[in-house]
Amino acid sequence: MSAEHHSSLLDAVKGQPKQVWITAFAAVIAFMGIGLVDPILLSIAKGLDATPSQVTLLFSSYLGVQVIAMLVTGAASAKFGPKRTVLVGLTLIVAATALCSAAGSIEQLVGLRAVWGLGNAFFIATALSVIVGAATGGQSGAILLYEAALGVGLSVGPLLGALLGSISWRGPFLGTAVLMAGALVLCAVFLKSDKHEKRDPIKLLDPIRALKHTGLLRTSVASALYTAAFFAVLAWSPFVLGWSAIAVGLIFCGWGLCVAVAGVALAPRLAAKLGERHAAAAAVFGYAVLMLVLAVPSKPVLVAGIIVSGLVSGLLNTLFTGTAMSISDAPRPVASAGYNFCRWLGGAVAATLVGHVAEWFGSPQAPFVASAVLCVIAGVLLSLRERVTDPHTVPKEAALVGEEF
């Protein structure tokens, strides 16, 4: 990573125009979406008389639709422009979150989360380009702002979910709808018009074609396996803990802060020492060990493991993306789209199966053991020798660690 990218957050925020701040604010709320339901999973299960497997579908539908939509959003943004794409995404999120607060069954809630995922895909796929295009002080400062928005969103989401969820499980959805409606109005008023902007076309299947590159495909599959483990932590550990919304929210707030710190501050240093791919391999093997620690039937150990896993997740989010951006000769936006399609497909599948894995093996610890196995396989895939040199940098595009949230 270049020295330019290490500019301080203070330098990045100086003199930024309104549309940068507005987009960053909307990005914070969008990134809150994935962790928002975490503290209220038990409350939702109780309020809608749903099983754990049904409740984890809230992650599956959100991510599953987002995975497919990611293949479309690049082409949509290229054709219609970033502002219109952002506004469509925000409108879908506002509608979905407001309706979630009035859902009468788990099936309705799962369906509305799918709409939320679609809106999120349209928004987050273009938010960074809006920030970079409007920011003063160069691309590195803009990306640092985006990373900061990611970190704040991941840490605040569970906390807001806990606070509003302690009143009612419907509260976090309603609160998000109100905040996002404000962001929608601000974006509609202050974001620059798309009318006179020239954009290169992106074909719908370009991201899939990019995966023909062996190195990119291997990296993408390894990331999918890691992301499956990531969602075992996010979607299943609240059921193992069985604690209140406030307690779970505080735990995952700490987890989100660790993700942010490691992704922004620690990953570039590790990449500089080992190279992106080798650093990712080492980190994913470490994540496998952490999964086995989470499988220990002790709640204090589980809490400590969840928070520490945030550090490793922060490393892996950035390192995996950096590896995907540098390993093939495909244009970086196209390579990123293909990589993220695989990555979040792993999360969607895991969120669907995690409850069933616990039932099949008759143990609440089984999903963590299965996750450890997946991480070992991911580490082996990353350790296979590549013909290209492993660069000891993280590309600027690696800041897209949370674009899928």
In the prediction, which pLDDT does 307 show? 95
Residue whose C-alpha is closest to residue 327's, from 204, 226, 401, 220: 220
The tokens for 170 are 């419907």
In the prediction, which pLDDT does 154 show? 77
The residue assigned the tokens 């020492």 is 273
SS3 259: helix
Asked if 3 and 268 count as a contact pair (C-beta separation under 8 A), the reply is no
CA angle 276, 278, 279 (to 5 degrees): 65
pLDDT in tens, 34-57: 677 778 888 899 899 998 888 888
CA distance 215 to 385: 9
**From the CB of residue 392, how many other CB atoms can be counted at a distance below 10 Å?**
16
108 CB-near residues (< 8 Å, 6+ apart): none
CA distance 97 to 119: 10
Residue whose C-alpha is closest to residue 26's, from 171, 193, 146: 146
Radius of gyration in angstroms for the set of CA atoms belonging to the chain, rounded to a whole number: 20
Helix and strand element counts for the chain (H, E): 17, 0
Identify residue 315 by its one-letter amino acid code.
L
| Total structural domains within the chain | 1
Asked if 284 and 389 count as a contact pair (C-beta separation under 8 A), the reply is no
In the prediction, which pLDDT does 348 show? 87
Handedness of CA 129, 183, 86, 230 (dihedral sign): positive
Asked if 294 and 233 count as a contact pair (C-beta separation under 8 A), the reply is yes
In the prediction, which pLDDT does 152 show? 79
The tokens for 178 are 């109100």
CA distance 41 to 235: 8
The tokens for 291 are 């999964």
Separation in Å, CA 129 to CA 85, 146, 259, 324: 11, 10, 22, 19
Residuewise pLDDT in 10s, the chain (405 residues): 444 444 445 555 566 777 788 888 888 887 787 677 778 888 899 899 998 888 888 888 988 898 888 778 767 777 777 788 889 999 999 999 999 999 999 999 999 999 999 998 888 767 766 776 666 655 545 555 666 677 778 788 888 888 888 889 999 899 889 888 988 888 888 887 766 566 566 677 788 888 899 999 999 999 999 999 998 998 899 999 999 888 988 998 899 889 888 887 888 888 889 888 899 999 999 999 999 999 999 999 999 999 999 999 989 988 887 788 778 887 766 777 788 789 889 988 998 899 899 999 999 999 999 999 999 999 999 998 765 555 555 555 454 444 443
| Domain enclosing residue 270, as ranges | 3-402
Separation in Å, CA 405 to CA 44, 305, 358, 374: 21, 22, 25, 22
Q: Tell me the H-state helices in 168-275.
A: 171-190, 206-210, 214-241, 245-261, 267-274
Q: What is the largest CA-CA distance in the chain?
A: 60
In the prediction, which pLDDT does 402 show? 41
CATH number at residue 302: 1.20.1250.20
